[in-house]
């Protein structure tokens, strides 16, 4: 099996860069890609990521990606995790939640 691919496509650049940096530091065996939120669908088609972390999940992400996190949509404090076919809402997500998810991708 090849390296797991994670696409980080949050709305604001510095936030996206910070999350991507943290994921790379903790998980050197995964490939972490960054994309502007407008480019998310094209990057999903191109990369076929195992996990997408974004500010607003798209129809294409829902259809094509096995695991995704809609992180703070509209900068609200709640987020949605979709992993292993299960969807759950989560409030006040911490960085450690994202790191744990990446380390245990189904």
Partner 1 sequence: MNFLPKPRDNRPDEPVAARRGGPRVLMANEPRAYREGIAAVISQLRPAVEVETVEPDILDASIERSSPDMVICSKATETLKGRVRVWVELYPENGALSVANIGGRHMEYTEIQLPDLLSIVDKAGELAGTT
Report the alpha-carbon angle 8-52-78, nearest 5.
Answer: 90
| Residue 28 found at the interface with partner 1 (CB under 8 A) | no
**Sign for the pseudo-dihedral over CA of 72, 26, 35, 63:** negative
Cβ at position 30, least distance to partner 1 in Å: 15
- Residue 7 vs 98, nearer CB to partner 1: 98
Question: Quick check: helix, strand or coil at residue 92?
Answer: coil
Interface residue list for partner 1 (CB under 8 A):
12-15, 17-19, 21-22, 25-26, 71-72, 74-75, 77, 92-100, 103
């Amino acid at each position: 099996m090849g390296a797991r691919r994670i696409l980080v496509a949050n709305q604001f650049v510095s936030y996206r860069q910070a999350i991507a940096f943290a994921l790379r530091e903790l998980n050197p065996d995964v490939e972490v890609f960054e994309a502007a939120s407008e480019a998310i669908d094209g990057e999903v088609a191109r990369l076929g990521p195992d996990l997408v972390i974004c500010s607003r999940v798209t129809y294409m992400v829902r259809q094509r990606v096995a695991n995704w996190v809609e992180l703070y949509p509209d900068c609200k404090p709640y987020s949605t995790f979709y992993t292993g076919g299960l969807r759950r809402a989560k409030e006040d997500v911490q960085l450690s939640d994202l790191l744990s998810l990446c380390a245990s991708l189904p």
